[in-house]
Amino acid sequence: MQRTEIATLGEFGLIRHLTNAVTLRNKSTLKGVGDDAAVLDYRDKQTLITTDLLLEGVHFDLTYTPLKHLGYKAAVVNFSDIYAMNGQPKQMTVSVGISKRFAVEDLEELYAGIMLACDVYGVDLVGGDTSSSLTGLALSLTCIGEGEVGKIVYRDGAKETDLICVSGDLGAAYMGLQLLEREKNVFQGEKDFQPDFSGKEYILERQLKPEARKDVIAILAEAGIVPTAMMDISDGLSSELLHITSQSGVGCRIYEDRIPIDYQTAVMAEEFNMNLVTAALNGGEDYELVFTVPLSYHDQVQALKGIKIIGHITKAAFGNCLVGRDGGEVALKAQGWQSFTEERP
Amino acid sequence: MQRTEIATLGEFGLIRHLTNAVTLRNKSTLKGVGDDAAVLDYRDKQTLITTDLLLEGVHFDLTYTPLKHLGYKAAVVNFSDIYAMNGQPKQMTVSVGISKRFAVEDLEELYAGIMLACDVYGVDLVGGDTSSSLTGLALSLTCIGEGEVGKIVYRDGAKETDLICVSGDLGAAYMGLQLLEREKNVFQGEKDFQPDFSGKEYILERQLKPEARKDVIAILAEAGIVPTAMMDISDGLSSELLHITSQSGVGCRIYEDRIPIDYQTAVMAEEFNMNLVTAALNGGEDYELVFTVPLSYHDQVQALKGIKIIGHITKAAFGNCLVGRDGGEVALKAQGWQSFTEERP
């Protein structure tokens, strides 16, 4: 593969090179890349802002993450936060810090993934910058979206007796990560090793190329349902549910046998001798939506494809509990905090 | 000084700890920290977005930059981009990546600087996150601002015969940096060394604690002047002027004896045996404003305190030139590209 040193383009040349394919598609985007700030017109909607900082070695491992996938995932994860507010992502800024290890072609790959995500989700790339980094790749994304007045969904609106719903299935991204980490450790050093991932495509795709649930937001809108509370599942279902119940001042009760889990996820958990429910509750990076709706919507929600009712909201005094297949109850716990890593020497 | 390990608070605890003093002051801020995205209401204005990624060892050196100053400067530099659009900064998100080298108290210092800047400039902190980093401090800020419809100022509006104006003085931040770098090199290793900076306070403050020219935007508004083009001076006057002229399809002519330079800057340049005009034209990090106004505003602009007319816009065919004190002309050149640094082993 060709390798063009970044210094041959210079900073402004590099930005131009990477963003010259950008087309603006949203009427709210008045001015994108190329001035001190982007200019947006949100005069008929409310504005949503979310941001992410991704650092090599902490948030991603380039040993098994192709740069194009990294770009796609970084963008999609940000869009997911906007959908989780019942909004639509419309603009994004991307800043990249890169060391000399990376060539122009590497950045092209990264941007190809970012642009693909923008295409798929209808988002305009409107700004950002590139700079050097001493230690690898740093990626910072900010997504701007719109929400209709009165229809933005927060975390704090869940009410007693509300139904708790989840889209898609859970735990697959986490099992995909376990698989990638295992292959990396087993074959460390063998340069051209190609592990056999057949039959495991789904969990790998969930880890490497997740999608945001734009479709679920559309289905809910079509059905005329505005959830009372909603979050996307990035840190794991338990963690997100605990955010919703603590901010709403309520408790919850979810049922183990209702938690949607894919077959490949289950097979992999068995292979790794891991607790499947723990993986589904705490694995994270599913980017599914968890939301609550009034009990009166029961039949409507149950009829929605790809949405599962997994439990209900209770009084705060009842706590947050998981009802097992045997009827036993355990308290829901958030995933342990991943401790801050040691600095390289 | 007390040192609290970050792990004792956990991620969510850390964010709460750092942001519990946040008060929201702008009516356009509907929801700040604490959900998937912040929610803003920009229904009577247009929205401006700017973002910055700052990496330790590349954009700042903690040997001589106190964390509180770093936070203040990082915020102010972002506000400056919004003022450069003739807008008002209103909200900001802050994401921080930190290695174990940093304690909770360090982050408190950093946030104290960020919050101080928010207080001074009337900006709401509305989101962001903290994560671990393998190699020091990474800081990503996004600022959201508002602009009045029809009064947002871009880079591409400069017209032939327009006057070129600059606020404040130039080159001081660059000379401050030279001074700090010299002291660092001379006294490397001596832990409690306190260099004598008396008589050099101004250039140090310009480097370590710059201000954004909110006041200039207010003065222009009061005088009823909307510039035809405007930028803030972060990369140096030459570089910014070349952006304005190339995007506007014009040329420019500026006069060496009109470039505003402070006395301390001149003294320091002499001490370092550096070309003073080069420092003022290419030094960067002044965060002053360079803008163009129609010739008809000449008397009005000349009467404004702290604003200097340094030249005028010409036909593109005349190029971009600096007229020296002796009447000689040289082409304006942008500062050289700082090459991408080597990765640490």
Task: Provide the number of structural domains found in chain B.
Answer: 2
Say whether B128 counts as a known binding-site residue.
yes
How do residues A273-295 score in pLDDT, each as one tens digit? 999 999 999 999 999 999 999 99
**Do B299 and B182 share a structural domain?**
yes
Q: Does A35 touch chain B (CB under 8 A)?
A: yes
Q: What is the pTM of this model?
A: 0.91
Residue A23 — pLDDT band, cuts 50, 70, 90?
A: confident
Report the pLDDT value the prediction gives residue B344, as an integer from 0 to 100: 37
- Residues present in chain B in total: 345
Structure-token pair, residue B137 = 């401090």
Q: B 132-171 residues with CB below 8 A of A?
A: 132-136, 138, 140, 142-145, 147, 149, 152, 154-155
Identify the CA nearest to A216 among candidates A228, A235, A205, A232.
A232
A52 labelled as ligand-binding?
yes
B120 and B208, same domain (yes or no): no
Domain boundary among B111, B145, B179: B145
Residue A47 has pLDDT above 80, yes or no: yes
**Is B182 in the same domain as B317?**
yes
Q: Are residues B173 and B34 in the same domain?
A: no
The reply to whether B216 and B105 lie within a common domain is: no
- Chain-centre distance for alpha carbon B318: 30
Beta bridge partners of B98: B132
Residue A111 labeled ligand binder: yes
Instruction: Note whether A80 and A212 are within 8 A (CB).
Output: yes
As a whole-number percent, the residues of chain A with pLDDT over 90 amount to 69
List, for residues A89-120, the tens digit of each pLDDT value. 999 999 999 888 888 889 889 999 999 999 99
> Are residues A130 and A166 located together in one domain of the fold?
no
| Portion of chain B with pLDDT greater than 70, in percent | 93
Verify whether the Cβ–Cβ distance B138 to A84 is below 8 Å: no
| Contacts of range B270-276, beta carbons closer than 8 Å, 24 or more positions apart | B272/B175, B272/B178, B272/B182, B274/B175, B274/B178, B276/B171
Q: Are residues B265 and B290 in the same domain?
A: yes
For residue B61, give the CATH number of its domain: 3.30.1330.10
Q: Which residues touch B162 (CB under 8 Å, ≥6 apart)?
A: B228, B229, B292, B293, B294, B295, B312, B313
What average pLDDT does range B170-178 have in this prediction? Answer: 95
Q: What is the pLDDT of residues B280-315, one digit of tens each?
A: 999 999 999 999 999 999 999 999 999 999 999 999
Separation between Cα atoms, residue A145 and residue B40, nearest integer Å: 10
Q: What integer pLDDT is reported at residue B337 of this predicted model?
A: 38
Give residue B118's region: left, alpha or beta (phi > 0; psi -120 to 50). Answer: alpha
CB atoms within 10 A of CB B329: 11
Contact A100 B341 (CB under 8 A): yes
User: Chain B residue with minimal CA distance to A91?
Assistant: B49
Would residue A339 count as lying in a domain?
no
The number of residues making up chain A comes to 345
Residue B341: name the closest of B141, B69, B142, B135 by CA.
B135
For residue A78, give the H/E element and its range: helix A67-83
Q: Which residue has the higher pLDDT, B18 or A126?
A: A126
Closest CA to B56 of B3, B113, B97, B111: B97
Which pLDDT band holds residue A341 (cuts at 50, 70, 90)? very low
**E strands present in chain B:** 29-31, 38-41, 46-55, 88-98, 124-127, 130-132, 138-147, 163-167, 229-232, 250-255, 289-293, 307-315, 320-323, 329-331
Considering B121, B145, B169, which residue would you say is the last residue of a domain? B145
Query: CB–CB of B37 and A53 under 8 A?
Result: no
Q: Which residue of A has its CA nearest to B93?
A: A51
Q: Report the SS3 class of residue A37.
A: coil
Using 50, 70 and 90 to split pLDDT, how confident is the model at A65?
A: very high
Same domain, yes or no: A295 and A166: yes
Is B295 contained in some domain? yes
A189-214 per-position pLDDT tens digit: 666 667 778 889 999 999 999 999 99
Phi, psi of A57 (to 5 degrees): 90, -20
Q: Hey, is B116 helix, strand or coil? A: helix
* DSSP type of residue A242: H
Give the range of the structural domain holding residue A103, as residue numbers without chain letter.
Answer: 9-145
- B241 and B324 both lie in a single domain: yes
> Is residue A174, in this structure, part of any structural domain at all?
yes
d(CA A78, CA A92): 9
Answer whether B91 touches A (CB < 8 Å): yes
Closest CA to A95 of A119, A76, A71: A71
* ipTM entry: 0.88
Beta strands in A171-302, from DSSP E residues, in sequence order = 229-232, 250-255, 289-293
pLDDT category of residue B30 using cuts at 50, 70 and 90: confident
Amino acid found at A104? V
The answer to whether residue A151 is domain-embedded is no
- Tokens at B48, concatenated: 């401006």
Q: What is the pLDDT of residues B191-216, one digit of tens each?
A: 666 777 888 999 999 999 999 999 99
- CATH number, residue A286: 3.90.650.10
Q: Is A81 annotated as a binding residue?
A: yes
- Round to whole Å and give the CA distance between B28 and A143: 18
Per-residue pLDDT at A6 = 73
Angle CA(A172)–CA(A285)–CA(A124) in degrees, nearest 5? 120
CB proximity B122 to A under 8 Å: no
**Per-residue pLDDT at A183 exceeds 60:** yes
pLDDT above 70 for B338: no
pLDDT at A338: 42
What are the φ/ψ torsions at residue A226 (nearest 5 degrees)?
A: -110, 110
Report the percentage of chain A scoring pLDDT > 70: 93
Phi, psi angle pair for A199, to nearest 5°: 85, -5
Look at residue B4 and tell me if it is in a domain.
no
Residue, of B224 and A344, whose pLDDT is higher:
B224
DSSP-derived letter for residue A96 is E
Element at A155 (helix H, strand E) = none
**Secondary element (H or E) of residue A53:** strand A46-55
Structure tokens at A167: 């889209």
pLDDT of residue B343: 40
| Cα separation, A125 vs A110, whole angstroms | 14
Q: What secondary structure does DSSP assign to B222-251, as a single string?
A: HTT---SEEEE-SS-HHHHHHHHHHHHTEE
pLDDT exceeds cutoff 70 at A128: yes
- pLDDT value of position A192: 65
Q: What is the pLDDT of residue B104?
A: 86
Are the Cβ atoms of A55 and B344 closer than 8 angstroms?
no
| Residue at a domain's end among B145, B174, B208 | B145
Q: Is B36 annotated as a binding residue?
A: yes
pLDDT in tens, A30-39: 888 878 888 8
**Does B237 reside within a domain?**
yes
Do B60 and B175 share a domain, yes or no? no
DSSP reduced 3-state for A265:
helix
Confidence of residue B1 (pLDDT cuts 50, 70, 90): low
Is A138's CB within 8 Å of B57's CB? no
B336 occurs within a structural domain? no
Assess whether A55 and A186 both reside in one domain: no
pLDDT averaged over chain B?
A: 90
Does residue B260 lie in a domain region? yes
Q: Per-residue pLDDT for B31 more than 90?
A: no
Q: Under an 8 A CB cutoff, do A100 and B55 touch?
A: no
Q: Verify that A100 and A228 share a domain, yes or no.
A: no
**pLDDT(B279) > 80:** yes
Q: Provide the 10 A C-beta neighbour count for residue B152.
A: 22
pLDDT tens for B131-154 read 889 878 999 999 999 999 999 999
What confidence tens digit (pLDDT) does each residue in B60-79 have?
A: 999 889 999 999 999 999 99
**3-state SS, residue B294:** coil
Containing A304, the helix (H) or strand (E) segment is: none
> Contact, B181 vs B245, CB < 8 A?
no
Q: pLDDT-based confidence at A174, cuts 50/70/90?
A: very high
DSSP classification of residue A44: T
Between CA B141 and CA B50 the distance in angstroms is 8
